[in-house]
Amino acid sequence: MALIDYTAKNRIGYITLNRPDKRNALNQEMVSELRNAFATAADDPEAKVVVLKANGDAFCAGADLAYLQQLQKFSYEENLEDSRNLKALYHQVYTLPKVVIAQVEGSAIAGGSGLVTVCDFAFAIPEAKFGYTEVRIGFIPAIVMAFLLRKIGEAKARELLLTGKLIVAAEACALGMVTQVVDRGNMEAAVTQFAANLVTGASGQSLAATKKMMAEVQDMGLSAALDQASMENAKARATDDCKRGIASFLEKKELKW
Protein backbone atom coordinates (compact mmCIF):
# COMPACT_ATOMS: atom_id res chain seq x y z
CA MET A 1 0.00 0.00 0.00
CA ALA A 2 1.32 3.43 -0.93
CA LEU A 3 2.07 5.65 2.03
CA ILE A 4 1.11 8.73 0.01
CA ASP A 5 -1.71 9.07 -2.53
CA TYR A 6 -1.75 11.73 -5.24
CA THR A 7 -4.69 12.68 -7.44
CA ALA A 8 -5.76 15.79 -9.34
CA LYS A 9 -9.30 17.01 -9.99
CA ASN A 10 -10.69 20.32 -11.21
CA ARG A 11 -7.17 21.83 -11.30
CA ILE A 12 -6.55 20.94 -7.64
CA GLY A 13 -3.89 18.40 -6.69
CA TYR A 14 -4.56 16.27 -3.60
CA ILE A 15 -1.71 14.75 -1.61
CA THR A 16 -3.01 12.37 1.05
CA LEU A 17 -1.05 10.89 3.95
CA ASN A 18 -2.02 7.23 3.95
CA ARG A 19 -0.55 5.55 7.00
CA PRO A 20 -3.60 5.69 9.29
CA ASP A 21 -2.60 2.65 11.37
CA LYS A 22 0.48 4.62 12.54
CA ARG A 23 -1.41 7.94 12.83
CA ASN A 24 0.42 9.02 9.65
CA ALA A 25 3.69 9.22 11.56
CA LEU A 26 6.73 10.18 9.51
CA ASN A 27 9.58 7.84 8.72
CA GLN A 28 12.22 7.96 6.00
CA GLU A 29 10.05 6.21 3.44
CA MET A 30 7.05 8.44 4.08
CA VAL A 31 9.12 11.63 3.89
CA SER A 32 10.64 10.47 0.60
CA GLU A 33 7.21 9.63 -0.84
CA LEU A 34 5.91 13.04 0.23
CA ARG A 35 8.81 14.72 -1.54
CA ASN A 36 8.01 12.74 -4.70
CA ALA A 37 4.32 13.66 -4.45
CA PHE A 38 5.04 17.37 -4.09
CA ALA A 39 7.46 17.19 -7.02
CA THR A 40 4.70 15.54 -9.06
CA ALA A 41 2.21 18.23 -8.04
CA ALA A 42 4.68 21.01 -8.88
CA ASP A 43 5.05 19.67 -12.43
CA ASP A 44 1.43 18.65 -12.95
CA PRO A 45 -0.32 21.00 -15.41
CA GLU A 46 -3.65 19.71 -14.08
CA ALA A 47 -2.90 20.99 -10.56
CA LYS A 48 -2.76 24.73 -10.00
CA VAL A 49 -3.32 24.52 -6.23
CA VAL A 50 -2.34 21.66 -3.89
CA VAL A 51 -4.27 20.31 -0.89
CA LEU A 52 -2.45 18.26 1.75
CA LYS A 53 -4.79 15.98 3.73
CA ALA A 54 -4.73 12.67 5.58
CA ASN A 55 -6.61 9.41 5.96
CA GLY A 56 -7.53 8.25 9.45
CA ASP A 57 -8.18 9.94 12.78
CA ALA A 58 -4.89 11.88 12.92
CA PHE A 59 -3.44 14.32 10.42
CA CYS A 60 0.13 13.42 11.40
CA ALA A 61 1.58 12.32 14.75
CA GLY A 62 5.07 13.55 13.87
CA ALA A 63 8.11 11.34 13.68
CA ASP A 64 7.60 7.62 14.06
CA LEU A 65 9.04 6.97 17.53
CA ALA A 66 10.11 3.46 16.61
CA TYR A 67 12.02 4.96 13.69
CA LEU A 68 13.58 7.59 15.98
CA GLN A 69 14.74 4.82 18.28
CA GLN A 70 16.25 3.04 15.32
CA LEU A 71 18.07 6.24 14.34
CA GLN A 72 19.86 6.26 17.69
CA LYS A 73 22.00 3.43 16.31
CA PHE A 74 22.99 5.54 13.31
CA SER A 75 26.21 7.51 13.03
CA TYR A 76 26.14 11.32 13.12
CA GLU A 77 26.62 11.36 9.34
CA GLU A 78 23.69 8.98 8.80
CA ASN A 79 21.47 11.02 11.11
CA LEU A 80 22.50 14.20 9.35
CA GLU A 81 21.47 12.72 6.02
CA ASP A 82 18.10 11.73 7.47
CA SER A 83 17.60 15.20 8.97
CA ARG A 84 18.41 16.79 5.65
CA ASN A 85 15.71 14.66 4.02
CA LEU A 86 13.09 16.21 6.34
CA LYS A 87 14.60 19.66 5.85
CA ALA A 88 14.31 19.23 2.09
CA LEU A 89 10.63 18.29 2.42
CA TYR A 90 9.76 21.33 4.53
CA HIS A 91 11.69 23.66 2.24
CA GLN A 92 10.09 22.08 -0.83
CA VAL A 93 6.57 22.70 0.50
CA TYR A 94 7.42 26.22 1.70
CA THR A 95 8.85 27.20 -1.68
CA LEU A 96 6.59 25.13 -3.95
CA PRO A 97 5.57 27.27 -6.95
CA LYS A 98 1.94 26.42 -6.20
CA VAL A 99 -0.20 27.34 -3.20
CA VAL A 100 -0.42 24.52 -0.64
CA ILE A 101 -3.45 24.21 1.66
CA ALA A 102 -3.40 21.88 4.68
CA GLN A 103 -6.74 20.19 5.38
CA VAL A 104 -6.35 19.14 9.01
CA GLU A 105 -9.04 16.76 10.24
CA GLY A 106 -7.13 15.34 13.19
CA SER A 107 -4.24 16.16 15.47
CA ALA A 108 -0.98 17.46 13.98
CA ILE A 109 1.79 16.92 16.49
CA ALA A 110 5.54 17.69 16.32
CA GLY A 111 6.56 16.98 12.70
CA GLY A 112 2.86 16.98 11.82
CA SER A 113 2.59 20.55 13.07
CA GLY A 114 5.72 21.19 11.06
CA LEU A 115 3.95 20.10 7.88
CA VAL A 116 1.06 22.46 8.64
CA THR A 117 3.50 25.28 9.40
CA VAL A 118 5.14 25.19 5.96
CA CYS A 119 1.82 25.19 4.09
CA ASP A 120 0.49 28.52 2.82
CA PHE A 121 -2.93 28.05 4.40
CA ALA A 122 -4.44 25.61 6.89
CA PHE A 123 -8.04 24.66 7.61
CA ALA A 124 -8.65 22.65 10.77
CA ILE A 125 -11.57 21.04 12.57
CA PRO A 126 -12.24 22.50 16.07
CA GLU A 127 -11.01 19.40 17.91
CA ALA A 128 -7.69 19.18 16.05
CA LYS A 129 -4.69 19.65 18.34
CA PHE A 130 -1.34 21.15 17.48
CA GLY A 131 1.96 21.16 19.32
CA TYR A 132 5.72 21.02 18.96
CA THR A 133 6.24 18.41 21.67
CA GLU A 134 9.85 17.45 20.95
CA VAL A 135 11.28 18.87 24.20
CA ARG A 136 9.04 16.50 26.15
CA ILE A 137 10.91 13.47 24.84
CA GLY A 138 14.42 14.92 24.97
CA PHE A 139 14.40 15.91 21.31
CA ILE A 140 14.36 19.39 19.74
CA PRO A 141 12.02 21.06 17.20
CA ALA A 142 15.04 22.09 15.18
CA ILE A 143 13.97 22.19 11.54
CA VAL A 144 10.45 23.51 11.97
CA MET A 145 11.77 26.30 14.19
CA ALA A 146 13.14 28.22 11.20
CA PHE A 147 9.67 28.28 9.63
CA LEU A 148 7.59 28.82 12.77
CA LEU A 149 9.62 31.89 13.76
CA ARG A 150 8.82 33.39 10.37
CA LYS A 151 5.16 32.48 10.59
CA ILE A 152 4.12 33.61 14.07
CA GLY A 153 7.08 35.56 15.49
CA GLU A 154 9.58 34.84 18.23
CA ALA A 155 7.51 35.40 21.37
CA LYS A 156 4.70 33.06 20.34
CA ALA A 157 7.12 30.52 18.90
CA ARG A 158 9.13 30.47 22.14
CA GLU A 159 6.01 29.62 24.14
CA LEU A 160 5.11 26.71 21.89
CA LEU A 161 8.60 25.35 21.28
CA LEU A 162 9.91 25.58 24.84
CA THR A 163 6.80 24.31 26.64
CA GLY A 164 5.82 21.66 24.13
CA LYS A 165 2.20 22.32 25.05
CA LEU A 166 -0.73 21.22 22.93
CA ILE A 167 -3.24 23.78 21.68
CA VAL A 168 -6.61 23.38 19.97
CA ALA A 169 -7.47 24.71 16.53
CA ALA A 170 -9.04 27.96 17.78
CA GLU A 171 -5.84 28.95 19.59
CA ALA A 172 -3.72 27.90 16.63
CA CYS A 173 -5.90 30.14 14.47
CA ALA A 174 -5.45 33.07 16.85
CA LEU A 175 -1.67 32.58 16.68
CA GLY A 176 -1.68 32.55 12.88
CA MET A 177 -0.84 28.85 12.45
CA VAL A 178 -4.31 28.04 11.12
CA THR A 179 -6.26 30.09 8.58
CA GLN A 180 -9.77 28.97 9.44
CA VAL A 181 -11.51 26.56 11.83
CA VAL A 182 -14.26 24.56 10.11
CA ASP A 183 -16.60 21.83 11.33
CA ARG A 184 -15.77 18.40 9.96
CA GLY A 185 -19.01 18.20 7.99
CA ASN A 186 -18.19 21.41 6.13
CA MET A 187 -14.44 20.89 5.77
CA GLU A 188 -14.24 19.39 2.30
CA ALA A 189 -16.58 22.00 0.83
CA ALA A 190 -14.72 24.87 2.54
CA VAL A 191 -11.29 23.75 1.35
CA THR A 192 -12.52 22.96 -2.16
CA GLN A 193 -14.17 26.38 -2.47
CA PHE A 194 -11.10 28.19 -1.14
CA ALA A 195 -8.85 26.30 -3.55
CA ALA A 196 -11.24 26.85 -6.46
CA ASN A 197 -11.27 30.60 -5.79
CA LEU A 198 -7.49 30.63 -6.06
CA VAL A 199 -7.58 28.51 -9.21
CA THR A 200 -9.95 30.82 -11.07
CA GLY A 201 -9.22 34.11 -9.32
CA ALA A 202 -5.44 34.42 -9.46
CA SER A 203 -2.68 34.04 -12.00
CA GLY A 204 -0.52 30.95 -11.52
CA GLN A 205 2.56 32.96 -12.55
CA SER A 206 1.71 35.62 -9.99
CA LEU A 207 1.14 33.11 -7.20
CA ALA A 208 4.46 31.40 -7.87
CA ALA A 209 6.40 34.67 -8.08
CA THR A 210 4.77 36.04 -4.92
CA LYS A 211 5.57 32.87 -2.93
CA LYS A 212 9.17 32.93 -4.13
CA MET A 213 9.61 36.56 -3.21
CA MET A 214 8.08 36.15 0.26
CA ALA A 215 10.54 33.34 0.98
CA GLU A 216 13.51 35.44 -0.13
CA VAL A 217 12.98 39.01 1.06
CA GLN A 218 12.66 38.16 4.75
CA ASP A 219 16.38 37.37 4.85
CA MET A 220 17.32 40.71 3.26
CA GLY A 221 17.86 44.14 4.69
CA LEU A 222 15.27 46.74 3.77
CA SER A 223 17.33 48.31 0.99
CA ALA A 224 18.17 44.96 -0.60
CA ALA A 225 14.55 43.80 -0.24
CA LEU A 226 13.28 46.91 -2.00
CA ASP A 227 15.85 46.49 -4.78
CA GLN A 228 14.66 42.90 -5.24
CA ALA A 229 11.05 44.07 -5.17
CA SER A 230 11.74 46.62 -7.91
CA MET A 231 13.29 43.98 -10.15
CA GLU A 232 10.46 41.53 -9.57
CA ASN A 233 7.92 44.28 -10.21
CA ALA A 234 9.58 45.12 -13.53
CA LYS A 235 9.76 41.46 -14.60
CA ALA A 236 6.12 40.87 -13.71
CA ARG A 237 4.97 43.66 -16.02
CA ALA A 238 6.35 41.75 -19.02
CA THR A 239 4.62 38.44 -18.30
CA ASP A 240 1.78 37.16 -20.43
CA ASP A 241 -0.46 36.88 -17.37
CA CYS A 242 0.05 40.52 -16.45
CA LYS A 243 -0.68 41.69 -19.99
CA ARG A 244 -3.79 39.53 -20.09
CA GLY A 245 -4.97 40.68 -16.66
CA ILE A 246 -4.56 44.38 -17.36
CA ALA A 247 -6.24 44.08 -20.76
CA SER A 248 -9.23 42.30 -19.22
CA PHE A 249 -9.50 44.95 -16.51
CA LEU A 250 -9.39 47.83 -18.97
CA GLU A 251 -11.88 46.15 -21.28
CA LYS A 252 -14.12 45.36 -18.30
CA LYS A 253 -14.14 41.66 -19.18
CA GLU A 254 -14.47 38.98 -16.53
CA LEU A 255 -11.25 37.00 -16.28
CA LYS A 256 -10.97 33.42 -15.06
CA TRP A 257 -7.48 32.06 -14.84
Specify whether 134 is catalytic: yes
- In sequence order, the 6+-apart residues with CB closer than 8 A to the CB of 217 are 225, 228, 229
118: alpha, beta or left? (left if phi > 0; alpha if psi -120 to 50): alpha
Cα→Cα distances 116→1, 104, 129, Å: 24, 8, 12
Cα→Cα distances 246→26, 68, 181, 249, 254, Å: 45, 53, 35, 5, 11
Q: Measure CA 245 to chain center.
A: 28
Collapsing DSSP to helix, strand or coil, 225 comes out as helix
Which is catalytic among the residues 33, 134, 232, 251? 134
Q: What are the residue numbers of the active site?
A: 134
